[in-house]
């Protein structure tokens, strides 16, 4: 045989081995080089790689140890991946450095190149430049097209740099477009390096780097010591050939995606890639290398709810007995069969019914016994025995109120539903209740916060029962009954439907509806009720918490004094009583506050504050105002003394000048607010004076039309009005009107001073 013919045959044989199909992978092929695995279609020996572009060489004499090179070039491969179709290689870094004199170092490399024929630079890479006046560029090619881009990085000092950010200050970056197969890097400085810059930035640098796993994270220290870095990791995309899956699959001999692998085109470059089908794992480029995965035995994977059975390319799950479904943890799961449910339900129902009857019988018996013990305990705890003793100790008076059971009050309030709450105070919560006879009542549930206050609050509760049981006045809220059988005792009152005086004064809509006539009548009725408590009750009673919140208004705008939780009974032989100071800020008698001596004049002071509130329509204490204006009573008295009363009166009264009767009420309020109790009128005098002022306003009396105030006073002295006899404590003595007689002649005012 001639020599040329032998050479031709050898060349043909070598070519056939260099492009081995998936059927013919020799056993002697290297599988690793250093820490890098070598997997077909890559290989290093004849027949071990698919085509020449996938040929690799293992340099075992490299100073850093065995190094895998692409096609015997200087391109170092650091990782091969057949699942993603990528290889990680090292790319050069371009440097442009200056010496201590600010002169460029000609030995630095500022234009490294990277050339590939069958691979493309992955878009997961970034082109990065580092430096304080760096001008970096990348020039590349995409087939027959050229590509170029770059970025500029500037900075004056390291303090302006943000670590981890490549936004242009000390570091800049741009994306790599698709399809780049070759490129050149260049970097230069657009300003000469001066000594102050050289201290922290002697060089500028440019490189392409894989940023998928944050291989590079910029730091200000890179400006000074990055010149020692020669290479950076970069990703390359690869695929088989240049044809699509559809065209390549027609060549059945050389098409690699066979057996349990499938062809995919999920990237922008030319050629095709192979992938094992779902349920299989292995190298999809080798025939029959994609083998079945046993999902049931994979560590850390719990795919079934009950039992798992592996199948070819998949798995099946089964459910326990009595359940149906696919049994998969992330599928429809397992559900109970209807027949099984019925059987279990019947057995459970029979057993449950028996146990229910047994436990119900035991529970009801124990509950009945426990309730009897609890009711007796609560009756004693809530002062039932104390109430009986105190009733017998005040002259044998009997409580006329009804004792209600727990069930009656729970039914009346719908188990004390929150929607039934109509008010809350310092001594309890008030619910709206409906009794079996459809009578609407107000049920006050006493407030017991903790054991340290229990005895005090029980005393207040019993005190309120005792006081209300002795009061029979049309302007005092009526006690209907009480309940002592629960942990929290309750009182049952008549229901007053129109809210509190506080609501009517300070609610903008309601305040317009209560004219001065109505306000005066409310004040008169309230004064009459307090006068009754002080002088007509069998044992004098001091309310101790007179304020608009404790004055209820019915549908006819009649006043009802309520909330006697803080009230005190005053023995007949005593004029004052030493007690712990108790009341509401703004309404509290200052003399009582400082001395602790409670007298009937304490209620007079509080009522004077109520009069001021009725006249002005403002809150007594307002901390949002300056300190001098926070207390309304002070500014009210000052306006009265300075003749500018009109300025503080309620705007809803719509007054252009101050009527004579308002001046009289204002003067009365002033006397009630004297600091010394001895200088205040009694509640009886206040009530009678208000009745006299009310009588002056009744147009049907002929003396109202008199132009002389003295004539009106004379009429009052000779014959008081019938309205002054509404209560048992009415007094027709001329002395009752002493304050009116002593008043100087007062003319209506329009904001001017008067005397």
The mean pLDDT of 280-302, rounded to a whole number, is 82
The larger pLDDT score, comparing residue 550 to residue 338, is at 550
User: Would the pLDDT of 551 be above 90?
Assistant: yes
User: Would the pLDDT of 23 be above 80?
Assistant: no
- Residue 366 CA from chain centroid, whole number: 44
CB 185 within 8 A of CB 136: yes
User: Would the pLDDT of 369 be above 70?
Assistant: yes
pLDDT at residue 745 in the model: 33
Percent of the chain with pLDDT strictly greater than 90: 25
> pLDDT tens digits, residue range 82-111?
888 899 998 889 988 887 666 676 666 666
pLDDT at residue 529 in the model: 95
Strand bridging mode 479-483 / 402-403: parallel
pLDDT at residue 16 in the model: 43
Under DSSP, the state recorded for 700 is T
pLDDT at residue 571 in the model: 67
CA distance 247 to 264: 13
- pLDDT level of residue 706 (50, 70, 90 thresholds): very low
pLDDT at residue 654 in the model: 87
pLDDT at residue 27 in the model: 81
User: Would the pLDDT of 565 be above 50?
Assistant: yes
- pLDDT level of residue 144 (50, 70, 90 thresholds): confident
pLDDT at residue 163 in the model: 86
pLDDT at residue 454 in the model: 61
Q: DSSP states of 126-189 as a string?
A: EEEEESSEEEEEEEEEETTEEEEEEEEEE-SSGGG--TT--BSBSEEEEEPPTT--EEEEEEEE
- Residue 21 CA from chain centroid, whole number: 66
pLDDT at residue 748 in the model: 33
- pLDDT level of residue 641 (50, 70, 90 thresholds): very high
User: Would the pLDDT of 683 be above 90?
Assistant: yes
- pLDDT level of residue 476 (50, 70, 90 thresholds): very high
User: Would the pLDDT of 52 be above 80?
Assistant: yes
The mean pLDDT of 259-267, rounded to a whole number, is 84
Sheet strands (E) in 326-437: 335-336, 402-403, 421-425, 428-434
Most confident of 20-24, 140-144, 227-231, 454-458: 227-231
414, 488, 574 from 432: Cα distances, Å? 10, 17, 39
The mean pLDDT of 319-346, rounded to a whole number, is 77
> pLDDT tens digits, residue range 511-524?
888 999 999 999 99
CA distance 383 to 632: 40
A 10 A CB-CB count for 256 gives 23
141-150, 439-448, 728-737: least confidently modelled range? 728-737
> pLDDT tens digits, residue range 300-313?
667 787 788 888 87
pLDDT at residue 739 in the model: 33
User: Would the pLDDT of 29 be above 70?
Assistant: yes
**Structural domains of the chain ordered from first start:** 86-237 (no CATH), 382-494 (3.30.200.20), 501-741 (1.10.510.10)
- pLDDT level of residue 553 (50, 70, 90 thresholds): very high
Structure-block tokens of residue 205? 């640098």
Structure-block tokens of residue 672? 């009630």
CB 114 within 8 A of CB 183: yes
Residues in the chain: 755
- Which SS3 state, helix, strand or coil, does residue 513 take? helix
Taken in order 572, 573, 575, 576, the sign of the CA dihedral is negative
58-62, 65-69, 429-433, 744-748: least confidently modelled range? 744-748
Q: Which residues are catalytic?
A: 545
The mean pLDDT of 718-743, rounded to a whole number, is 34
∠ CA 219-153-127 to the nearest 5 degrees?
80
pLDDT at residue 414 in the model: 93
The mean pLDDT of 531-545, rounded to a whole number, is 87
With 0-12 CB in 10 A as exposed, 13-18 as middle and 19+ as buried, what is 252?
exposed
The mean pLDDT of 5-24, rounded to a whole number, is 44
The mean pLDDT of 347-358, rounded to a whole number, is 90
> pLDDT tens digits, residue range 212-235?
877 888 988 888 888 888 889 999
CA distance 684 to 577: 20
Q: 667: closest CA among 708, 635, 709, 637? A: 637
In the predicted model, what is the mean pLDDT of the chain?
79
Q: Residue 412: which residues within 8 A CB-CB, separation 6 or more?
A: 433, 434, 435, 441, 443
């Amino acid at each position: 045989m001639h020599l040329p013919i032998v050479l031709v045959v050898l060349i043909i044989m070598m070519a056939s081995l260099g492009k081995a199909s998936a059927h013919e992978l020799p056993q002697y092929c290297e599988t690793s080089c250093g820490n890098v695995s070598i997997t077909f279609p890559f290989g290093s020996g004849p027949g071990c790689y698919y085509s020449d572009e996938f040929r690799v060489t293992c340099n075992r004499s490299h100073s850093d140890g065995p190094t895998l090179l692409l096609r015997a070039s200087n391109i170092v491969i650091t990782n091969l991946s057949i699942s993603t179709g990528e290889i990680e290689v090292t790319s050069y870094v371009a440097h442009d450095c200056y010496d201590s004199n600010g002169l460029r170092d000609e030995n630095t490399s500022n234009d490294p190149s990277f050339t590939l024929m069958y691979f493309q630079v992955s878009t997961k890479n970034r082109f990065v430049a580092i430096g304080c006046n760096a001008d970096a560029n990348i020039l590349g090619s995409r087939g027959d097209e050229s590509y170029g881009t770059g970025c500029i990085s500037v900075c004056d000092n390291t303090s302006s740099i943000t670590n981890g950010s490549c936004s242009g200050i000390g570091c800049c970056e741009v994306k790599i477009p698709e399809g780049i197969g070759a490129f050149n890097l260049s970097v230069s400085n657009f300003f000469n390096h001066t000594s102050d810059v050289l201290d922290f930035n002697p060089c500028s640098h440019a490189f392409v780097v894989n940023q998928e796993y944050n291989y590079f994270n910029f730091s200000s220290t890179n400006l000074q010591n990055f010149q020692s870095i020669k290479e950076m990791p970069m990703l390359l995309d690869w695929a088989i050939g240049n044809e699509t899956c559809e065209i390549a699959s027609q060549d059945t001999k050389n098409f690699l995606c066979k057996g349990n692998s499938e062809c995919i085109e999920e990237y922008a470059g030319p050629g095709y890639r192979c992938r094992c089908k779902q349920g299989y794992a292995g190298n999809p480029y080798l025939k029959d290398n994609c083998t079945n995965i046993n999902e049931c035995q994979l560590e850390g994977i719990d795919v079934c709810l009950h039992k798992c059975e592996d199948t070819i390319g998949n798995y099946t799950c089964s459910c326990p007995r009595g359940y149906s479904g696919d049994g998969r943890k992330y599928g429809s799961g397992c559900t109970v069969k209807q027949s099984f449910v019925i059987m279990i339900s019947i057995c459970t129902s029979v057993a449950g019914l028996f146990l229910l009857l047994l436990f119900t019988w035991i529970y009801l018996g124990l509950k009945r016994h426990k309730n009897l013990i609890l009711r007796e305990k609560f009756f004693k705890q809530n002062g039932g025995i104390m109430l009986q003793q105190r009733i017998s100790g005040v002259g044998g008076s009997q409580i006329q109120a009804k004792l209600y059971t727990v069930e009656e009050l729970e039914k009346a309030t719908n188990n004390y539903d929150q929607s039934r709450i109509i008010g809350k105070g310092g001594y309890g919560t008030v619910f709206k209740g409906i009794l079996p006879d459809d009578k609407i009542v107000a049920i006050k549930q006493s407030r017991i916060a903790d054991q340290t206050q229990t005895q005090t609050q029980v005393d207040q509760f019993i005190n309120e029962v005792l006081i209300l049981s002795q009061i029979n006045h049309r302007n005092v809220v009526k006690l209907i009954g009480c309940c002592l059988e629960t942990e929290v005792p309750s009182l049952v009152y008549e229901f007053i439907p129109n809210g509190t005086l506080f609501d009517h004064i300070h609610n903008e809509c309601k305040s317009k509806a209560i004219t001065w006539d109505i306000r005066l009548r409310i004040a008169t009725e309230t004064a009459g009720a307090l006068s009754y408590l002080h002088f007509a009750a069998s044992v004098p009673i001091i309310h101790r918490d007179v304020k608009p919140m404790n004055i209820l208004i019915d549908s006819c705008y009649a006043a009802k004094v309520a909330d006697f939780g803080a009230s005190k009974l005053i023995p007949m032989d005593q004029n004052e009583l030493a007690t712990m100071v108790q009341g509401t800020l703004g309404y509290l008698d200052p003399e009582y506050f400082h001395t602790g001596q409670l007298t009937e004049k304490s209620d007079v002071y509080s009522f004077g504050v109520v009069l001021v509130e009725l006249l002005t329509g403002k809150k007594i204490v307002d901390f949002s105002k300056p300190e001098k204006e926070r207390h309304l009573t002070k500014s009210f008295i000052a306006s009265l003394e300075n003749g500018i009363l009109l300025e503080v009166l309620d705007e809803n009264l719509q007054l252009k000048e101050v009527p004579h009767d308002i001046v009289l009420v204002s003067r009365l309020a002033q006397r009630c607010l004297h600091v010394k109790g001895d200088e205040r009128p009694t509640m009886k005098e206040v009530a009678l004076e208000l009745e006299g002022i009310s009588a002056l306003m009744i147009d049907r009396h002929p003396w109202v039309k008199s132009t002389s105030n003295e004539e009106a006073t004379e009429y009052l002295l000779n014959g008081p009005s019938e309205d002054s006899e509404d209560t048992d404590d009415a007094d027709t003595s001329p002395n009752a009107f002493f304050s009116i007689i002593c008043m100087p002649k007062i003319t209506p005012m329009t904001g001017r001073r008067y005397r």
